[in-house]
Amino acid sequence: MNVFIAGFQHETNTFAPTLADWAAFEAGSGFPAYRRGPVVIEAYRGKAIPIGGFIEAAERWGWTLTASGWAGANPSAHVTREAFERIAGDIDADLRAALAGPGVDAVYLDLHGAAVAQHLDDPEGELLARIRAVVGPRVPIVASLDLHANVTQAMLTVADALVAYRTYPHVDMKDTGALAATLLERRLARGSRESLAVRRLDFLLPLNAQSTMTAPADAVYDELLHLDAAQGTVLSFAMGFPAADIAECGPVIWAHGEQAQAAVDALFARVDQPRSQWRLDLKTPEAAVTEALALAADVSAPVVIADTQDNPGAGGDSNTTGMLHALLAAGAGRRFPGQVALGLLADPEAAAAAHAAGEGAQIEVQLGRRVPTWGGQFSDEPVRARATVRALRDGHVVLKGPMGMGGEVRLGPCACLEVEGVLVGVCTLKTQMLDRELYRFLGIEPEAMKLLVNKSSVHFRADFAPIASHILVAKAPGPMAADPADLPWTQLPAGMSLRP
């Protein structure tokens, strides 16, 4: 059997300031750069992404694979028309060539599920529909999705089967690709689609509340696994990406299997009541730093603060300064010199100035940006300061934590700058602080810090929770709203609640 495989990964924050153009997919940054053809199989086999798990499982089944393109770019505002059409065009051309050559018996797509393009509210649904139009109604199509997918009716209708991650931080991406292969095998053995049941929730789930390392999501996904084992289903609960202003933004539960409806109804009841279980405790930057400093005085392990609204994994550009201002105003670096760190701050000009000056030099810098957020608001002013250049690096980092183990990021020229005792990790290209190696490569040992400020919402927990004494979540001004009710929505249906 020959399976055609491809991938398209983008999480779109329609309120964010920066578009995802073709150059973003070519660069990849926090994602692998664009690849196309057989190199996809060799590069991603066994890697900690969905297509890596699918490739391994497919080869165990003895399937032949024909690879098209795999495209991923950091979360941001809309995917440009040109970028999407180029990606979709490559996939279409390769699919038609495969049909004319060895033939195509099935299709697997490694999708995110929360993309929005300049010209399409549902580019994944559109991509699935274009593929279906080429292969016809009988060729099975399966896809894996991110836990944050905004799953549309078009996706569910066109695909034979969909399955989403069950963890956030996403430490089961590879497993989800393998599960997609299992769904494909079930579809082939049956000869037709399995029963599908779907229920959509009518409230948005804040991103920080979605962590499966904390309540209530941990218990919800335990129940999902229990129901699958008891009912023989493959359940998915995509909690949605609550910053995409489209009509089908929001959480969706679905299942494949004979007992799909019973499983979906049971999980829906667990998620829906009480809704108060999903509410958040968010702190101002000043309150978070004050509490963190008090805690740090009495513990040996670092206190970690999530700078969630500038999360580059959710559409931020990792360049706002609200948390840095709060650290400096509180004298955090004077209280714990060299034991307070913030990372990573994307500032190409500061990184270039540091490299021009050299290690050990003192430079006058303007760190960060004042960026638009939403509703005419802006983030804080840049930090103007005299900084000491503590380390310089080329930005090539091999990740070792649970999220990206073995993966690589290329961040361009990077530097560790010390400002009033605070160590600031500065990079040229943005990436989310989800791995301790993103501090270590700059000479910052996270375990030795008293206080860490991570530009991330939840993914950092996979590698930092084991070393943290406490974790706090701060709401400093930035492009990713921690509370969906803060956003100026225009496309959500009238019955959708902005808060649980």
pLDDT at 149 (0 to 100): 98
CA 362 to chain centre: 36
Instruction: Look at the pTM and tell me if it is higher than 0.75.
Output: yes
Enumerate the H helices of 234-307 as residue ranges. 260-272, 285-296
Each residue of 360-371: b (16+ CB within 10 Å) or e?
eeebebebbbeb
Q: Contact, 220 vs 271, CB < 8 A?
A: yes
Cα dihedral 68, 74, 80, 82 in deg (nearest 10): -30
CA–CA dist 279, 273 (Å, integer): 12
Helix (H, G, I), strand (E, B) or coil at 9: strand
What value does the mean pLDDT of the chain take?
A: 96
pLDDT at 237 (0 to 100): 98
In which band, very low, low, confident or very high, does the pLDDT at 407 lie, cut at 50, 70 and 90? confident
CA–CA dist 151, 147 (Å, integer): 10
CA 136 to chain centre: 32
What's the pLDDT tens digit per position in 34-87? 999 999 999 999 999 999 999 999 999 999 999 999 999 999 999 999 999 999
pLDDT at 216 (0 to 100): 97
Strands 340-346 and 303-307: unpaired
In which band, very low, low, confident or very high, does the pLDDT at 404 lie, cut at 50, 70 and 90? confident
In which band, very low, low, confident or very high, does the pLDDT at 32 lie, cut at 50, 70 and 90? confident
In angstroms, what CA-CA distances link 123 with 78, 129, 149? 11, 10, 12
Which range (279-283, 337-341, 405-409, 492-496) has the least confidence? 405-409
Q: Where are the domains of the chain?
A: 2-278, 285-482
Asked whether residue 111 carries a pLDDT value surpassing 90, the answer given is yes
pLDDT at 383 (0 to 100): 98
Mean pLDDT of 359-373: 97
Q: What letter would DSSP give residue 206?
A: P
Q: What percent of the chain has pLDDT over 70?
A: 100
In which band, very low, low, confident or very high, does the pLDDT at 96 lie, cut at 50, 70 and 90? very high
Asked whether residue 234 carries a pLDDT value surpassing 90, the answer given is yes
